[in-house]
Copies of this chain bind each other. A is one copy, B any other.
C-alpha cells in the first residue's frame, strides 16, 4: 500500500471557504495554512487525536551519554501508563488517546496499559557495530505500521519517544542522514553540561566510524545507529500517512524517526506537522531538511510527545475556524477584501 497524495481539491475548497469567512484574507496566518493542510490530509472529519509514545533502551547508555540511568526508561513507561508523566497530563488536556508502546526496554515489561511491540531487550552499543540487525530494523518499522493501522478513526497522531540515551541515537541518525558532523547535531539532551555534550559527540563519531560507510538505504542506517523506538515511530508515521492521518512531530528523537520515514517514502512528509522547535541543535537541521516549520518554540526538551501534545489544540482550533466561522454573506458583514 502506498501513501496517497494530499487532496488538492479539498485544499482549494478549504482555502476558498476560509476566504469567505468574516476576517481579512489570510489574517489568521499559519492557522489558515494548517486548516488547509488538514483539509488535504483528511478532509472535514471530526478531530480525533492519539498520542503514541514509544519507549526503548539503547546500547549508547553504556557510554555515559545521559544524566539518567537506563532503568529510567522502564520506570517512565510505567509512569506513562499510570497517567503521571507530562505526556499523560498533556494528552488528557488535548483530549487525545494515549497509546504507550514498549519497543524494547532492557527488561521485559508487562503492564495492562502498555502495548508490546518489543524488537529486542534494548539495542547493542553502536560504537562497536550495528545497533540492531537489518531484520530488526525492518521489524520495528513494520510494528509501527501495524500500530498505525489500529488507530481507527484517528485524524492526527502525535508522536513521542522515551529512551535513556536516545538523543545520542537521534544525533547519529541526523549526522548520517543529513551528512553533517556529529558536533553540529549534539546538544545537552535532558541535562548534560558542555563536557557531556562533547563526550556525546565523540560517541556519535565512534558510532559513525564503526558503521561506515553507509549505504543509501534508510533501513541500513537505522539498523546501524538505532534505536527500536525510532524505527517504530518511523513506521507509525508511514502507516498514519497511508490512512490519511496527520502526523504531529515532537522534538529531536521523533525528528530522527521522521527523517528515516521520509527516506523510506518522501510522500510521508506531506502529512507531517512540526509541533515545536527543540533547543537541540540538530532538530532545526532535520526540520529544514524536511521543509517543515515548527508551530511552537517553547524551549521544551523533555520528549515523550509533550510538545506534540501541546500543539494539538492548534489543530483543533484550525479545524474549528474552517468549520464554524460565519461567512461575510451569512453574517451580513461588508467584504472589502474581495
**In the assembly, what is the distance between CA of A332 and CA of B74, in Å?**
11
Our pick among B21, B82, B336 for the contact of A86 (Cβ within 8 Å) is: B21
Contact between chains at A93 and B31 (CB < 8 Å): no
Chain B positions within 8 Å of A297 at CB level: 297
Contact between chains at B331 and A89 (CB < 8 Å): no
Cβ of A337 under 8 Å from chain B: yes
Chain B positions within 8 Å of A334 at CB level: 68-69, 71-72, 75
Contact between chains at B79 and A331 (CB < 8 Å): yes
Chain B positions within 8 Å of A67 at CB level: 24, 336-337
**In the assembly, what is the distance between CA of A221 and CA of B304, in Å?**
50
Chain B positions within 8 Å of A298 at CB level: 28-31, 295, 314
**In the assembly, what is the distance between CA of A75 and CA of B161, in Å?**
48
Chain B positions within 8 Å of A302 at CB level: 23-24, 27-28
**Which residues of chain A (81-128) have a CB below 8 Å from chain B?**
82-86, 88-90, 92-94
Contact between chains at A85 and B31 (CB < 8 Å): no
Contact between chains at B326 and A27 (CB < 8 Å): no
Chain B positions within 8 Å of A12 at CB level: none
**In the assembly, what is the distance between CA of A133 and CA of B190, in Å?**
56
Closest Cβ of chain B to A232, distance in Å, is 22
Cβ of A211 under 8 Å from chain B: no
Our pick among B30, B92, B301 for the contact of A29 (Cβ within 8 Å) is: B301
Chain B positions within 8 Å of A138 at CB level: none
Cβ of A153 under 8 Å from chain B: no
Cβ of A3 under 8 Å from chain B: no
Known: A68-B337, A298-B314. 18 other contacts (CB 8 A): A22-B76, A27-B301, A29-B279, A29-B299, A30-B298, A30-B299, A31-B300, A31-B310, A67-B336, A75-B334, A78-B331, A79-B326, A84-B325, A84-B330, A86-B321, A90-B321, A92-B320, A296-B296
- 30 examples of A-B residue contacts, CB within 8 angstroms: A22-B76, A22-B79, A22-B85, A23-B85, A23-B86, A24-B68, A24-B301, A25-B191, A28-B298, A28-B300, A31-B298, A31-B300, A68-B334, A69-B334, A75-B331, A78-B331, A78-B332, A79-B326, A79-B331, A83-B326, A89-B317, A89-B321, A89-B325, A90-B317, A92-B324, A93-B316, A93-B317, A191-B337, A298-B314, A310-B317
